[in-house]
Amino acid sequence: QFNPNYASGRTTMVHLFEWKWDDIAVECENFLGPKGFGGVQVSPVNENVVAASRPWWERYQPISYLLTTRSGNEQQFADMVRRCNNVGVRIFVDVVFNHMTGDNVNARGTGGSTADPSNKSFPAVPYSNLDFHPTCSINNYNDKYEVRNCELVGLKDLDQSKSWVQDRVVDFLNHLISLGVAGFRVDAAKHMWPEDLEKIYNRVNNLSTTHGFDTGARPFIFQEVIDLGGEAVSKNEYTNLGVVTEFAHSNSIGKVFRGKDQLRWLINWGPQWGFLNSDRALIFVDNHDNQRGHGAGGADILNYKTSKQYKMASAFMLAHPFGITRVMSSFAFDNTDQGPPTTDGQNIASPIFNDDNSCSGGWVCEHRWRQIYNMVGFRNIVAGTAIQNWWDNGSNQIAFCRGSKGFVAFNGDSYDLNTSLQTCLPAGTYCDIISGVKSDSGCTGKRVEVGSDGRATISITQAEEDGTLAIHFESKL
């Protein structure tokens, strides 16, 4: 439950928010597999309410556990999981079982099921009002009973202590395991009692050996618990059950790279910042909520719109050994309710790929930005090494080695960085994987000359597109 079950040599998942299953299958084969991504978090797979104007958040309002959504049907989902596993990329499903939909008259689901949410009747599961907590709303996050037994933004709150509810959820999760998924993001885990979750997790099957997992492998479980301190529910209540989303990481990295804190303080990045231990922390720069002002962190959170700082924060997260890393991949938005790009206002459109790997057609595809996918590769290559030779200039210029396998430098000051630093790498010429890529003909970016003493002149001017430089032993020319 703590192991992402990645194929060997891989370390990082990407959240392909609102992508269609057919598109994810192709992306695994053409891009994620070759570039070394370990897995994909997919949007909720089970039937959700069809909401007017099709906001992204309709997928967090379940109608049933049929696997039909705007991303595709069960057969397309199963095909995607199989094809991604075949190229070493795992699938993690965002599972929503704290609640069903909000009040809604004549609700219709993406799979054609109907429900009467106002009377807590969901015949396609089936659930009746006996399966839910009595109606009350969550107003006071200092009361853990209210947080767990009342309705989050009016969503009908399931009672996970009931055996009928446990059975339905376990069946749903086991169905997904039988199709070859590697684990789950548990939505709104904070709003469920840890003892109920424990009962459910304990009944979930081992991963499917017919899909290539080791005998006895447990599904990876990462639980969405927002804990920035000062509330009744603590992230520590969940760490014996699985990994937990570390929102303090998202919040702090946003502050640092927005200039509200100095980069030199990153020297003790990790639990000393109040984060969970590394093996329990699912970390990210932004998620699908806080990139648009939902969830936690407010204006300190970075997203694709502030691209230079966003790429620097992502590079730091991926270069630093702390945590289990997740990269966000977004669609462009102007307002916080806006759903994904569509062909006709209803059906989700596929991303369009440009020659430089980037996306268009309304998709941002941060995971296809060179500065991000090359750092996913960096993390794979330096895995297992520690930070050494930390350097800083006393403010916002920092650099460190990862063992003798990689070196990274950041310039967050408004003046140039140009100095001789220890890279810990063998002598030679290296290609900076932030400003370019190593290619057959050499390097499309900056070159770094490492001397026999391991030192090199490192330059990141204040005017450069990116404030990061990274080299590793496979970027040697």
Catalytic sites, residue numbers: 187, 224
Q: Which stretch binds ligand ARE (CB under 6 A): 185-193, 215-223, 252-260, 444-452?
A: 185-193
Q: What value, to the nearest 5°, has the Cα angle with vertex 400 and ends 426 and 264? A: 160
- CA 387, CA 396: separation in Å to the nearest integer? 18
Return the number of the residue (47 or 413) whose C-beta is nearest ligand ARE.
47
Residue 102 contact partner, candidates ligand ARE, Ca ion, none, CB within 5 to 8 A by sort of partner: ligand ARE
Q: According to CB under 6 A, which one of 22, 76, 86, 141 is a site residue for ligand ARE? A: 141
Residue 18 touching ligand ARE (CB under 6 A): no
Residues of this chain, 190-209, that bind Ca ion according to CB under 5 A = 191
Residue 131 touching Ca ion (CB under 5 A): no
Return the number of the residue (6 or 122) whose C-beta is nearest ligand ARE.
122
Q: According to CB under 6 A, which one of 38, 102, 111, 339 is a site residue for ligand ARE? A: 102
Entry field: residues in the chain = 477
Residue that has been written with the tokens 């890279």 in this structure: 423
Residue 96 touching ligand ARE (CB under 6 A): yes
Task: Estimate the crossing angle of helix 247-255 against helix 307-319, to 10 degrees.
Answer: 130
Return the number of the residue (44 or 377) whose C-beta is nearest ligand ARE.
44
Q: According to CB under 6 A, which one of 33, 295, 339, 445 is a site residue for ligand ARE? A: 295
Give the DSSP letter of residue 275.
P
Q: According to CB under 6 A, which one of 74, 154, 405, 447 is a site residue for ligand ARE? A: 154
- CA 205, CA 360: separation in Å to the nearest integer? 40
Q: Which stretch binds Ca ion (CB under 5 A): 145-153, 172-180, 310-318, 455-463?
A: 145-153
- CA 416, CA 147: separation in Å to the nearest integer? 49
Residue 273 contact partner, candidates Ca ion, ligand ARE, none, CB within 5 to 8 A by sort of partner: none
DSSP character string of 13-81: EEEETT--HHHHHHHIIIIIHHHT--EEEEPP-S-BB--TT--GGGGGSBS-S-S-BTTB-HHHHHHHH
Residue 116 touching ligand ARE (CB under 6 A): no
Q: According to CB under 6 A, which one of 226, 253, 408, 471 is a site residue for ligand ARE? A: 226
Looking from the CA of 233 toward its CB, the CA atoms found within 13 Å total: 23
- CA 374, CA 265: separation in Å to the nearest integer? 25
* Bridge partner list, 392: 398
Judged by the rule CB under 6 A, the positions of this chain that interact with ligand ARE are 57-58, 60-61, 96, 102, 141, 152-155, 187-188, 190, 224, 226, 231, 289, 294-296
Judged by the rule CB under 5 A, the positions of this chain that interact with Ca ion are 98, 148, 157, 191
